[in-house]
Amino acid sequence: MRICLLGNVQVLEAGSLEEAMRGTVNAPDVLLLDIQLQGLNGLDGIALLKRKWPDVPIVMLSSDAAQETVRQALERSAAAFVSKAETADNMLAVIKQVLCKESGASAFAGTCDKSSAQPLLTPRQFEVLDLLCQGLSNKVIGQRLGLTENTVRLHASAVFKSLQVTSRSEAAFVARQRGLVS
C-alpha cells in the first residue's frame, strides 16, 4: 500500500481489494474504487468494502461508462459513478459532492456549505443542464460537448436526480427557478 499526502488529505493507494482491506485500519472518508482491479473486480468488491466500512461512501471509477455498468454500480451501493473520460476537475467535483453529501452539507462552487440549497452537480452536469434548458436533444448536446449520447443520458439522469425531477421540462423549470441557468 502506498501512502502520500495531498495538502491536508491523506491518500492511500492499493492495487487490490485484499491489499486495501488488509492495510487500512481506520475507516476512510471516501473510497475511490476502480472496476478493473487485480483479483476480485470493483463491482463484486463493493459488498466486501460495505461489510468492513458500512458508512463509507464508495465512488466507482471506470473507463466503461455503459448505462448497464453504471446501473450495476449504483444498485450495489456505490454513492456515485465517475467515468475515466471525465476531466480531473470533474472527478474531484464528484468526490467533493459525495463528501459534502455524507457530511449533511451540499456542494456548490467546489466547497461544502451547510446553508446552500443548490443541487449537487458537477461542472459537466451544469453544462448538460444548460443545453437541456435550451431544448437541445441528447445527440446535439453530445456533439457540442464531444460526448456520446449515452454519456449525455447519464449526465441528464444525474441532473434529474439531483434536482428531484423526472423530465427535461421539469428540470428546465426548476433550474430557471433556482437561478442555475439564465
In this model, does residue 42 exceed pLDDT 90? no
- Give the predicted TM-score (pTM) of the model: 0.57
Query: Using 50, 70 and 90 to split pLDDT, how confident is the model at 63?
Result: confident
What domains sit in the chain, N to C, each tagged with a CATH number?
Answer: 1-85 (3.40.50.2300), 109-182 (1.10.10.10)
Instruction: Report the pLDDT value the prediction gives residue 103, as an integer from 0 to 100.
Output: 53
Instruction: Report the pLDDT value the prediction gives residue 148, as an integer from 0 to 100.
Output: 92
Query: Using 50, 70 and 90 to split pLDDT, how confident is the model at 139?
Result: very high
Strand partners, 83: 62
| 116: amino acid identity, one letter | S
Mean pLDDT of the region 81-107: 72
User: Which of 22-36, 56-70, 104-118 shows the lowest mean pLDDT across its residues?
Assistant: 104-118
Decide: residue 7, CB within 10 A, 0-12 exposed, 13-18 middle, 19+ buried.
Answer: exposed
With residue 151 as reference, give the H or E element that holds it: helix 149-163
Instruction: Report the pLDDT value the prediction gives residue 149, as an integer from 0 to 100.
Output: 93
Higher pLDDT, 152 or 112: 152
Most confident of 17-31, 149-163, 164-178: 149-163
Residues near 145 by Cβ (< 8 Å), separated by ≥ 6?
A: 124, 127, 128, 131, 152
Whether 109 contacts 121, CB under 8 Å: no
Instruction: Report the pLDDT value the prediction gives residue 120, as an integer from 0 to 100.
Output: 66
Instruction: Report the pLDDT value the prediction gives residue 7, as an integer from 0 to 100.
Output: 55
Helix (H), strand (E), coil (C) string for 56-117: CCEEEEECCCCHHHHHHHHHCCCCEEEECCCCHHHHHHHHHHHHHHHCCCEEECCEEECCCC
CB atoms under 10 Å from CB of 9, counted, come to 8
